[in-house]
Each structure stands twice: as C-alpha cells, then as structure tokens.
Amino acid sequence: MARVMCGDAVANKLAMVPLSNNTMMRRIEELSRNVLQQTIAAIRCCKRFSLQLDETTDIGSDAQLMVFVRYFDTNDVVEQFLFCRPLAKNTTGEEIFRKVNLFFEDHQLEWSNCVSVCADGAPAMMGSNKGFISFVKKKNNNISVVHCLLHRENLATREIQENLAIVFKEVVSVVNFIKARPLNTRLFRALCDEMGAEFSGLLFHSTVRWLSRGKVLERVATLKEETHAFLKDQNHELADRFCDDEWIAKLLFLADVFCHVNQLNSSIQGKEKLFFDVLESVDAFKGKIKLWVHRMKSGKLAAFPGLNLFVEEKEINLDVILPIFLQHLNTFLSELDRYIPSNDYCRIFNWVRNPFQVTAQEVHSDMDCIAEQLIELQSRQIWKDKFKKASLTQFWANVQSMEPNLSNLCEQAAKALLPFPTTYLCESGFSTLTLIKTKYRNRLQPEDDIRCALTTIDPELDKLVKQVQGQGSH
C-alpha cells in the first residue's frame, strides 16, 4: 500500500513538472506540421482553391507575409491559415510571389487550380508590371483578381467635403489635447464621473483602423457637454466650437454618417463571407444614401438621429448647412461608385444561388457549356430536397463530391463561391501575430504558433503519439 501511494505521489509530481522551452517548441512544430499536411491533402483532393494574402511589419521589424486558403471539402467550404513567412529584404511583388510560389512547389500545388486571389490595393500586390498579381497572371492568366472590398470601401470614405473636413480635423485636435497628456486624461475622467457621463474618456483616432473615425466622432458627440466644460476650464482655443450650433450640427452629422459606415463595414467583415453577400450589402448602402438625399431635400433627418434631435431642440435653420450635407452624401455616393462599381456578378452567377429557380435559358451566354448539366441537376429530386436543408456552400460541396459527371457545373459554381471578397482573415491573423510575437519574443518565427492558434483542423494526436518514443524511466 505504501509503495502504491509513493508511486502515485511521484507520478503527480512528474505531471506537475513544466516542459522545457525546446520540448514545447518541438511539440508546437509537430502539431503545426500535422495540421499543414491535412490542409495540403484536402487542397489537392478538391483541386480548386482561392487565396487571400497581405503583409505587415511585426514588433521585430520583420515583414511578415500571411496567406489564407479557401477550398471545398466533402461537406462545406473551408477557410484555413496556409502560412506566414518573413520577407527577408524587400516587400516587392516579385519577392511576395517568390515566397508563395516556393510554398506551392514544396507542396506540389498548381497555380492552374487557383481560381482567385484577394489582396489589398498596394502597388506591390496589384501593380500591373511588377506587382504580385502580374507574376501570378503569368502562371494562370484566367485567375480572378479581387481588390479587397473593405479597403475599397475605406478609400471611398476618405473624401470629405471641405467644411466638414475642418470640423473633423478640429475634433481630432481636441481628442489629442485631452488624450495625449496623462494629467488631462485624469482630469477629464474625473469631470465625466462628476457630470454622470455615459463614458469616462475619449478615443484616439487611427487611420489604419476601419472603424476608428466613426467611433471617435460618436464618442465626442456623446461627450460634447463634458468636452466643452473641460476645454473652457483649460482656456483652449477650440472651446468656443462647442457653443457654435452650426459646428455641433456638422459634428453630429459626421458622427451619424460614419455610424452608418461602421455598420456597413462590420456587416462585410467576418469569416465565410461570399461575394454575393458583400456586393449586395454595398449596393443596399448605395440605395440608402440615395434615399437619405431625397428625404434630406425635404428637411427630413430621421436617418441621422443625433443631428435630428439636436435640430429639433435648438430649432436650427437648415438653409445654410443642408447644402453642405447634401454635397457630402452625393460625393460619398460617387466615390463608392468609383471604387466599388456595380457589376453583373450577382446576375451572372444567380444560378449558383438559385439553381432550381433559374432556367437553363437564363444562364449567361459565356456559360453555355453548363446549361445541360444544370438541367440534369434540376431534374433530381434528391438535390432539391438537400438544397432546402443545407446552406448554399454545403449544397455545392455535396454536389461536387457526389456528382463527378457535373464537374463543369461545379467548376463554375466554385468560381462564384470560392473567391474571398475581403482580406478580413489576414487582418484578424495580424492581431493573432501581435499577441504571439511580443517585444519579449521578438526573435520568434511565429508561423507554427499562428497555425495552431487559428486552425479549425484537429491534429491527429494518436498518430503523433505513436511516432514518439515514451520515456522508459517513467
């Protein structure tokens, strides 16, 4: 009995002994390698896939290229982290292509099977002569190129009418005055607490964060009375702005507009977003702007609740500022049309979303080769029943895996479902990179850690355990 108790005590003590850094590193590498092998095997099996990629500079001043892949498995569309590799010297399109192409060669992936590439609009990515896409086109000229719709939407919002741009600049100046000085921050927090404010502080503006502008304006608009009291106490030159009803009206208008923009931005972010969903969200937003313009011309401001409430309370004459608001909305609409023009994508691939409602005669003329296969699909009751129960991507994944005679139809459906509309996954991956590679671990090569953090594939633990020799002394 004593021996058993002694043995249990030793086992418990050994279980509590922390693993060494090298042992942890090896285990993370083995898990990552196993997950990558499963991912590559799945990509080879399905053949068709799409990529999204972006690069950033980490805490160690290393330029990191991050790539995600989307492909069909037997049950659904899958999005997986592919790799994150440092760019040793330049971040040129040629160097980015060399890294991706080398990965393809090492894992026997074919560019001919890549249906789409999504990236931001940087010259290194989209340059027509020396950009990454130009080198990809030499490998596969039929590949679909997507300029991230999040980046395009953000570019469209940068054009602000001059009178409103001055207001925004002054708001940022006020925020910096309060936030950049610790004493001012503490005093402002105490003032907000005394006045029973909803929030206790303002927010810094960051041009690289998509939602920042709207959040900053919304917070200043909410704390406008507290901000005015603080600036007046500090004898700040912009204190009088918060007594100017016209200036406040412009601030509230900007806050309401960018609140709508943030809602659009949030709706097109996320995993497993399809091109259909994002384009329809943008088109709906354009329609809303047209409606706002029409209503605003007749003095109706219900779409801008903060501005509307302020105008009713102060009984402001809108004759002076209303043209400024209308001009901004019209400019915003034209910028959206310039960066995200309406196209026939949804109409051309309508048969993908509604395979049992669109007739073969309605299929786009460039896709006549699939009309007969679409008729064959529509004739089978089993697929009609599955379409009602499964999601769109699950339906087409099942068709692809179970109907090899409909390969042309599935190939065209993949061109509609596989392209990434945004580089959201890369952006979220950069957040993971920031958490993993810190100033205390600035020499870490983070690819294996990121893969283990982001993957949805379970490592084959039984297989890995069999490959490792156990400690005989234990």
First to last CA, the chain: 20
Contact 121, 94 (CB under 8 A): no
Is residue 469 scored above 80 in pLDDT?
Answer: no
Report field, pTM of the whole predicted structure over 0.85:
yes
Tokens of 349: 């691939």
How many domains, the chain? Answer: 3
Give residue 314's pLDDT band: very low, low, confident or very high (50, 70, 90). confident
- For residues 289 and 27, which has the higher predicted lDDT (pLDDT)? 289
pLDDT at 261: 94
Is residue 5 scored above 60 in pLDDT?
Answer: no
State the average pLDDT over residues 194-217.
85
**Strand ranges in 245-398 using DSSP code E only, listed in sequence order:** none
State the average pLDDT over residues 179-183.
90
Mean pLDDT lowest among 260-264, 269-273, 380-384, 464-468: 464-468
CA distance linking residue 164 with residue 166, whole number of Å: 5
Asked which of 298, 324, 339 is the last residue of a domain, the reply is: 339
pLDDT at 17: 53
Domain check: are 232 and 144 in the same one? no
Buried b (16+ CB within 10 A) or exposed e, 253-273: bbbbbbbbbbebbeebbeeeb
pLDDT at 211: 81
Q: Check which CATH number belongs to the domain holding 120 and give it.
A: 3.30.420
Question: How far from the centroid of its chain's Cα atoms is residue 76's Cα?
Answer: 20
Instruction: Please list, in sequence order, all residues whose beta carbon lies within 8 angstroms of the beta carbon of residue 333, skipping any fewer than 6 positions away.
Output: 286, 289, 290, 293
Domain check: are 267 and 399 in the same one? no
pLDDT at 203: 87
pLDDT above 90 as % of the chain: 58
pLDDT digits (tens, 9 = 90+) for 334-375: 999 999 998 778 888 889 998 998 888 878 766 667 888 889
**Strand ranges in 191-254 using DSSP code E only, listed in sequence order:** none
Instruction: Please list, in sequence order, all residues whose beta carbon lies within 8 angstroms of the beta carbon of residue 324, skipping any fewer than 6 positions away.
Output: 161, 163, 164, 250
Contact 362, 349 (CB under 8 A): no
Domain check: are 180 and 257 in the same one? yes
Instruction: Please list, in sequence order, all residues whose beta carbon lies within 8 angstroms of the beta carbon of residue 282, skipping any fewer than 6 positions away.
Output: 149, 153, 264, 268, 336, 340
CA distance linking residue 60 with residue 225, whole number of Å: 43
Question: How far from the centroid of its chain's Cα atoms is residue 447's Cα?
Answer: 20
- For residues 357 and 3, which has the higher predicted lDDT (pLDDT)? 357
- Is residue 38, in this structure, part of any structural domain at all? no
Is residue 59 scored above 50 in pLDDT?
Answer: yes
Domain that includes residue 435, residue range: 47-148+423-474
DSSP state of 334: H
Give residue 472's pLDDT band: very low, low, confident or very high (50, 70, 90). low
Domain check: are 162 and 275 in the same one? yes
Domain check: are 188 and 300 in the same one? yes
State the average pLDDT over residues 437-451.
89
CA distance linking residue 101 with residue 110, whole number of Å: 9
Strand-pair partners of 71: 49, 78
Tokens of 138: 């030499």
Residue with tokens 């893969």: 451
**Which has the closest alpha carbon to 15: 436, 464, 474?**
474
Domain check: are 434 and 374 in the same one? no
pLDDT at 6: 44
Q: What percent of the chain is helix, strand and coil (3-state, nearest 5)?
A: 65, 10, 30
pLDDT digits (tens, 9 = 90+) for 374-424: 899 999 999 999 999 989 999 999 998 888 888 889 888 998 999 999 999
- Is residue 23, in this structure, part of any structural domain at all? no
Buried b (16+ CB within 10 A) or exposed e, 307-343: bbebbeeeebeeeebbebbeebbeebbebbeebbeee
State the average pLDDT over residues 77-81.
94
Asked which of 281, 316, 339 is the last residue of a domain, the reply is: 339
pLDDT digits (tens, 9 = 90+) for 155-180: 999 888 889 999 999 999 999 999 98
Q: Please, what is the average pLDDT of the chain?
A: 88
In total, the chain counts a number of residues equal to 474
- Is residue 451, in this structure, part of any structural domain at all? yes
- In the Cβ-directed half-sphere of 217, how many Cα atoms lie within 13 Å? 27
Q: What is the CA radius of gyration of the chain?
A: 28
Is residue 14 scored above 80 in pLDDT?
Answer: no
State the average pLDDT over residues 289-315.
91
pLDDT digits (tens, 9 = 90+) for 109-142: 999 999 999 999 889 999 888 899 999 999 999 9
